[in-house]
Structure 1
């Protein structure tokens, strides 16, 4: 009889495989996903008491298939289809089929990730659907992680499934340029999920560990599915190297602790070692992309014994390379800090001045917070405090707002 955590881990591992099998057999992503969720709930209730079946995947596939048939039975317009399906496929055959499907056919996780990251969906909907269908999280768990009511998240997921259905999305692995584009979409969704977990965009807590942990788990899955993809490896390394600092990111009271002030002895050395090894293996393999470069920057930070010992010239070079790969004002914002650390605060502030004209960042609190930090380094306490207060007024996260307000207070 497995423990609760072991069962939860097994269910999450099986969920995308079983959903892929259901969609490939029956079609209708939304109905199959609903049937799987009912099967997962049944397993979570029964397995702790009755024990884990010898073939957990076959058990889930069988129960989900019966749930799917029940859904068809409830739909009078599909009664003929349901009757034919029920009579043609006895339970024993379902179990045997689920047990004997080759791994290459059974593991449709990659195609499922592509489907959940359908281009017709908004980024929040892609994240929610991925966590539900591939991550195996319940609607309540996803809602809690995003700090929204369960009903709100249920509506978001339902709309996402309707959108996928209307777009005619099926379970297929695209090839060529479509595959590359699909992988890019999946990586972006996982990246956004991790970032929301590492620094919540709103609410009273700084982090939502369940989201970043799940993003890492799903990125590990994606890396296993496409081990040759260097950007996926870079994304995984970036997450590991960043998440390694999480234990030191907050004070005992949950307040934000900046990187330069963190107790580095609390960083997770195991994650750092894994991330450094992964990015070290990946960088020499070919064309370097933005996730690999961000991972390399994180590795430099994590390898420094103190803030003063950080190799800022190397970080600046990496940011300059990163800026060439994509047009993103946040990269320039971070490069401004590196410029300030290498060439002085005035040089960094000069770079920030140009960002004030970029509509994507002009009203973001992080632009003002970075400006305040550089003014503080310059010794201009009055203007720095004013910028910190302005940044605090725009921050949507309560811990970030309190941190910025406290920085202003210290400067007077």
Structure 2
């Protein structure tokens, strides 16, 4: 991306034996999944980067079916057969079969039912093969029992919301290691590839592959019930569930993950799931804080790309096209969570820009280039460490976030405090009448509090951008010290440094940093932006 703000904004089997993680040789499984994962981009069978081919009606239907039914089908099959390894492979097989048959036979009227039938047959075939290989059960007994069980699977169009939420809660079961829960959910519920999950969580691909394999084995062997826990037990998993919903949203606005610059449907789904959670668990601060954050972020979705698909920075976005109803709802949620406290740096900004006119930054021209991170939510410590059970070094009160007014004692968690601070930052951007009216000193202070709470280097990177806006590029550059070691292979660190060096007049150093960022970036849209900025630095 062309400016520092945008950088932060976008934000095995062997020897013929069955592989417990996937039921086939790893190379065969990974190659097939690579092809099938292309369905998420509307181009079945596409491997690697590059422009998408012309998409036919059947291709459109496949892409839409992937987004609508991937997680639902996996959830249905896991619930019926308790074999997550077989469920994932069977659903992938079903989509690959659809890619072969639909262009020839036509798109079925009920794509979900077609895919469920195909996936169910795959599971039955595998179960029968395993039983025969073990020579423990007669073939016909397996056939009769498995087909009778499969017939009880409901149509994927029924109880959609419940099925997806059940899958999330199953993936977030305490029996699964904290580091594995988020990764497993992003794979099963969102359909991200191993590579994409690794990039999103800043983990090497090989490590992430091992983590996913371990999680699937644990899910299959532990007898985890595929159901929403009783109300009395929901709160035990709430922070993890919130984290995976947060990261699902983030993956839709994170150019470093996948080829698509934006996935608006993931944002829509994350917000929908939070509303379902809020209905199940009213007045939970972590749910309300996260819902406020996502509404404020999502409100700008129609202005983030131009007509050519290029990213549009916050200062250049048409604010008249922002969804003001969502901004107002997000601000109202923040106000409902707030208790008056002298420790708060600033109250939630008004949803009406005219009420903010007296708060103007001293350097309005600086806001042209840099936006801290409202398009990619700042990574919370629970996401950074892949689980809310991670060690945390400070209590929320140590940095002064307002307490919730919820009557549910004990539900103001550290994660809720993190999300609330992020939502306050997003609200500052969403309610500023113009880019020049952005209160960068307030934003920098909020980031300082968030960094004190989380210790996250990602938060420090965003804080450096805000400080650069408030106090100049040299002040921001000082905060970047040490981040290269803390965030190795993270292209946003050299990209932010390049932008701040350029603004400080150090063109040669800026060009070097842009080259370093280009060596690390993977998203084509973001690469184009960085190449443009490098050319400008070299001019």
TM superposition score normalised by structure 2: 0.54
Structure 2 residue 317 is the aligned partner of structure 1 residue 265: no
Equivalent-residue separation in structure 1 for 2:320 and 2:438 (angstroms): 15
Distance 2:250 2:467 in 1: 24
- Once the 2 structures are TM-superposed, how far is the Cα of residue 199 of structure 1 from its aligned partner? 3.2
Q: Whose helix fraction is larger, Structure 1's or Structure 2's?
A: 1
CA RMSD of aligned residues (A): 5.0
Q: CA deviation at 1:374?
A: 4.1
Identify the residue that residue 188 of structure 2 maps to in structure 1: 129
Contact 1:385 1:408 (C-alpha < 8 Å) held by counterparts:
no
> Over residues 171-230 of structure 1, what are the superposed CA-to-partner deviations in whole Å (9 max), with x where a residue is unaligned?
336799996675444444444444343232278x6x4334x5225414522541454343
**Which digits, 9 at most, give the CA deviation of each residue in 1:9-45, with x for residues without a partner?**
7986676566545434432222244455667788997
Q: By how many angstroms is 1:308 displaced?
A: 0.5
Shift of 1:238: 3.0
- CA–CA distance in structure 1, aligned partners of residues 531 and 118 of structure 2: 54
**Deviation digits for residues 119-171 of structure 1, max 9, x if unmatched?**
46497665333334xxxx9x8xx999999xxxxx9xx9899467512562443
Query: In 1, distance between residues paired with 2:146 and 2:535?
Result: 71
- Judge conservation of contact 1:40–1:60 (CA < 8 Å) in 2: yes
Shift of residue 322 of structure 1? 1.7
Q: For structure 1, which segment, 275-284 or 392-401, has the greater mean C-alpha deviation from structure 2 after superposition?
A: 275-284
Q: Are the structure 2 counterparts of residues 361 and 176 from structure 1 closer, same or farther at C-alpha, using a change threshold of 3 Å?
A: farther
Aligned twin of 1:209: 262
- CA change 1:51–1:306 in 2 (3 A) is same
With over 3 angstroms needed to count, the CA separation of the structure-2 counterparts of 1:18 and 1:87, relative to structure 1, is same
Equivalent residue in structure 2 for 1:391, among 514, 518, 524: 514
Matched, 1:242 2:294: no
Whether the aligned pair in 2 keeps the contact of 1:368 and 1:388 (CA below 8 Å) is no
Q: Does 1:71 align with 2:197?
A: no
1:366 equivalent in structure 2: 492
CA distance in 2, matches of 1:322, 1:296: 11
The corresponding residue for 1:224 is: 276
Shift of 1:323: 1.9
Aligned partners of 2:149, 2:169: CA distance in 1, in Å?
32
Q: Distance in 1 between matches of 2:319 and 2:89?
A: 45
Structure 2: give runs of 5+ residues left out of the alignment: 1-56, 200-204, 339-403, 407-411
Structure 1 residues 177 and 325: alpha-carbon distance in aligned structure 2, compared to 1, 3 A threshold: farther
Name which of 460, 470, 473 aligns with 1:342. Answer: 470
Q: Within 1, Cα distance between the matches of 2:318 and 2:95?
A: 41
Q: Give the corresponding residue for 1:333.
A: 461
Distance 1:386 1:115 in 2: 49
Query: Contact 2:78 / 2:87 at 8 angstroms: preserved in 1?
Result: yes
Counterpart Cα distance in 2 of 1:370 and 1:315: 17
Say if 1:316 and 1:63 are closer, same or farther in 2 by CA, change over 3 A.
same
Q: How does 1:10-409 map to 2 (within 5 A)?
A: 16=71, 19-35=74-90, 51-52=109-110, 67-75=122-130, 76=132, 77=134, 80=137, 83-84=140-141, 86-87=143-144, 94=151, 98=154, 107=162, 109-116=164-171, 118-119=176-177, 121=180, 127-132=186-191, 160=212, 163-165=215-217, 168-172=221-225, 182-201=237-256, 207-210=260-263, 212-214=264-266, 216-218=268-270, 220-221=272-273, 223-225=275-277, 227=279, 228=281, 229-269=284-324, 271-281=326-336, 284-286=404-406, 287=412, 288-350=416-478, 352=479, 355-356=481-482, 359-361=485-487, 364-375=490-501, 380-381=504-505, 383=506, 386-395=509-518, 396=521, 397-407=523-533, 409=535
Structure 1: where are the runs of 5+ without partners?
148-152
Secondary structure at the counterpart of residue 313 of structure 1: helix
Q: CA deviation at 1:409?
A: 4.8
Give the Cα–Cα distance (whole angstroms) in 1 for the partners of residues 274 and 69 of structure 2.
Answer: 15
Change (3 A) 1:394 1:312: closer
How far does residue 267 in structure 1 lie from its aligned partner after superposition?
A: 3.6
Give the conservation status (yes or no) of the 8 Å contact 2:483–2:493.
no
Between 59-68 and 253-262, report the one with greater CA deviation.
Answer: 59-68
Matched residue count: 381
Contact preservation (8 Å) 2:61, 2:107: no
